[in-house]
Amino acid sequence: VEIGPPSASSPPPRVVASRLTRAGLLVLVAALTCLAACGSSSSESTPEGPSAIVVTDPVMPEPAGTSAAVYLTITNDGGTDDRLLSAEAEASAMVMLHRTEIDDEGLATMDEAGPLVVPSGGEAVLAPGGDHLMLDVPEGLAVGDTYEVTLVFEQYGEITVDVEVVATEDVLR
């Protein structure tokens, strides 16, 4: 899809930096520092063997209709790269791996994403405004409920997780 400018006559939005973006940068720097530190402390034991997948913090913001998103973190403690191929849920007709992209002008678009790589010794983060699972859910899911979702990996195979339904306002940290 071609995405044109708002209109030929209007100038592009000029917005000035924010504490928000700076905070984001700080978090990124902190995360990288942490990663570097963790990497060096465990450098003697590089992960070996097959893919070893662990899924943490699977959450679904309380759905405001029948479409919902799932966010989670996938860690691979094994010595082999793996890929998340697909996901399924018994009560959902479709579960798709989606990617939200936000461009320089702030335009958010969402597309189906291909298999998601989870590198050996690394992680893949499914988070708001980025990669996530999009699925249809039955009406009536409420905060505190859990929803079973199965993730299918190329190497590791299937892993089923209980996704916790949480208040939407608690998703962004």
Partner 1 sequence: MTVRPRRLVVAFVVVVAALVVAGCVDPPQDFDRAGAEEYGLQGSLIEDALAKPDVVFTDTEGRPYDLRTETAGELTLVFFGYSSCPDVCPIHLGTIADAFQKADLDGGVPNMVFVGVDTARDTPEKLRAYLDRFDSRFVGLTASPEEIDRAMAQLLLPAAVIDPEGEGGDNYRVGHPSQVVVFTPDDRAHIVYPFGATREVWVDDLPRLERIDWEDRR
Q: Which residues contact partner 1 (rule: CB under 8 A)?
A: 1, 3-7, 10-24, 61-65, 67-69, 98, 100, 102-111, 128-129, 132, 134, 167-169, 171-173
Cβ nearer to partner 1, comparing 29 with 167:
167
C-alpha to C-alpha distance for 125 and 161, rounded to whole angstroms: 15
Q: Which residues contact 111 (CB under 8 A, 6 or more apart)?
A: 98, 99, 101
C-alpha to C-alpha distance for 51 and 166, rounded to whole angstroms: 30
C-alpha to C-alpha distance for 113 and 109, rounded to whole angstroms: 12
We find the least distance from the C-beta atom of residue 74 to partner 1, in angstroms, to be: 18
Residue type, 147: Y
Cβ nearer to partner 1, comparing 52 with 72:
72
We find the least distance from the C-beta atom of residue 81 to partner 1, in angstroms, to be: 26
Cβ nearer to partner 1, comparing 2 with 90:
2
C-alpha to C-alpha distance for 60 and 103, rounded to whole angstroms: 25
Is residue 134 helix, strand or coil? strand
Cβ nearer to partner 1, comparing 14 with 40:
14
We find the least distance from the C-beta atom of residue 173 to partner 1, in angstroms, to be: 7
We find the least distance from the C-beta atom of residue 21 to partner 1, in angstroms, to be: 5
